[in-house]
Each structure stands twice: as C-alpha cells, then as structure tokens.
Amino acid sequence: MENLKKKIRSERSRRIGLLGLAANPPHNGHLQVAKLILRKKLVDAVWLVPCYSHPFNKPLAPFKHRYAMALLMGNKEIQATNVEFRLKGRSYTIETVKALQKEYPCCDFFWIVGSDIVKSGSYKKWKEWGEISSLVDFLAVNRPGFKIKKIPSGFIAVKGKMSNISSTEIRERIRQGLPIDGLVPLKIKEYIEKHNLYK
C-alpha cells in the first residue's frame, strides 16, 4: 500500500470503491463485483477491505490469512487495504471511512454493498448510519433474488449479472472435501491448501 499511497498523493482526486468483506475466504464473486464497477467506470479503483473483527461476532480465520488472500486478488485497479487491522477492535464502516478519508484526503470514496443490504434496509442499523451517509455515496450491486424497485437517496444502482457465490458455501465444500475450482482464483485455492484452512 505504500507505493499506492505515494501514487495517490501525487494526483488531485481519485474515485475509490471500497468493498468491505470478511474475506473468509475472498472469492470470484468479490472479483466479479469489483470488475463490474470498474468496467462501468464508476470508480478508478476498487479497494478490498477485509474486516479485522466482525461487528456481528462471526468466527473468522486469522486476519493475516484473510488479508494475504485479499492481496492475491489484486491487480493494477484492485488493491487490498489493512486499514481495519490498523484500527483494531470491532470493525465498523464509519471508523473505516473516516480513517481512509483522513489518510487519503485527495480521494472520493464510495462504499460498495449488495442489493440485499438495500432491500432489507439493514444498512440503517449500521453504527452512526446518518454520518456515514453524509460522508460517502453507496454503489448497490445487483444480487440474484434481491431486485431493488426503488433506489434510496445516496445509493447508485449498479446493474449487471452477478453470481451467487458465498464464502459459507466455499468453507462447507472444503470441510466436506469437495472441489472449490471456479469459486475462488487458483492462487487462493493454493493458499488455502498450503495453510490447511477451513478443515
């Protein structure tokens, strides 16, 4: 991220999409979302934001593994940030956004969510939701089975055909000894096998 930081500070303004995820493990669905948003030119880059400690106490693999796998997803336009590790404690969107805006004042940030979050209205229960909505706009990506009829203020609908891959499904397949080819990039499959994760 240091080279990324230097590059960004030399530019006036960049639009950055923030994709918060447990990364437990990160998968092809996450890549699909990032590539869709980049293809539509809604942002200049997408940063993957693995959470340090899940706000709903979901059990997670150690952060070092989840962050390492997120890094393996990276390319020129897709990067991973360890901002929530540096913040420590429970990971909340409001604190992440504030930290990144302070660290990269020349960037305009957008928070990426699935249409399921919008349709359920669960975002309204996020810590300090009112302040979050005043700091960033949201990119709402279509998820199968969660069509949004009316997009709320502050949200931008991102249409596109998405797969319904889930980390839960991947972990369960690993536990059962089933293949995960096509669900995660090859590098992540190899990383999971090397470190014997999710067995």
For residue 189, being part of any structural domain is answered with: no
Bond preceding residue 179 cis, omega within 30 of 0: no
Nearest to 15 by CA among 77, 74, 96: 77
For residue 148, being part of any structural domain is answered with: yes
Look at residue 90 in the predicted model and tell me its pLDDT.
85
Residue with tokens 């500070």: 9
CA dist., res. 185 & res. 106, Å (int): 32
Give me 32's structure tokens.
């699909």
CATH code of the domain covering residue 28: 3.40.50.620
- 54-87 pLDDT, tens digit per residue, is 877 789 999 999 999 999 999 999 999 999 999 9
Look at residue 87 in the predicted model and tell me its pLDDT.
94
Look at residue 156 in the predicted model and tell me its pLDDT.
95
For residue 82, being part of any structural domain is answered with: yes
For residue 172, being part of any structural domain is answered with: no
pTM score of the predicted model: 0.91
Helix-then-strand count for the chain, H and E: 9, 6
- 126-174 pLDDT, tens digit per residue, is 999 999 999 999 999 998 888 888 899 999 999 998 889 999 999 999 9
Going by the DSSP 8-state scheme, the letter that residue 150 receives in this structure is: S
For residue 195, being part of any structural domain is answered with: no
Instruction: Give the total number of structural domains in the chain.
Output: 1
For residue 174, being part of any structural domain is answered with: no
User: Which residues have CB under 8 Å from 117's CB, separation 6+?
Assistant: 123, 140
Task: Give the confidence band of 4 by pLDDT, cuts at 50, 70, 90.
Answer: very low
Given a cut of 50, is residue 7 above it in pLDDT? no
Given a cut of 70, is residue 1 above it in pLDDT? no
Given a cut of 70, is residue 106 above it in pLDDT? yes
Look at residue 161 in the predicted model and tell me its pLDDT.
85
| 114, 157 Cβ separation under 8 angstroms | no
For residue 130, being part of any structural domain is answered with: yes
DSSP string, 42-72: S-SEEEEEE-SS-TT------HHHHHHHHHH
CA dihedral 47, 14, 35, 80 (to 10 degrees): -20
Domain extent at residue 136:
2-164
Question: Assign residue 55 a region: left if phi > 0, alpha if psi is -120 to 50, beta otherwise?
Answer: alpha
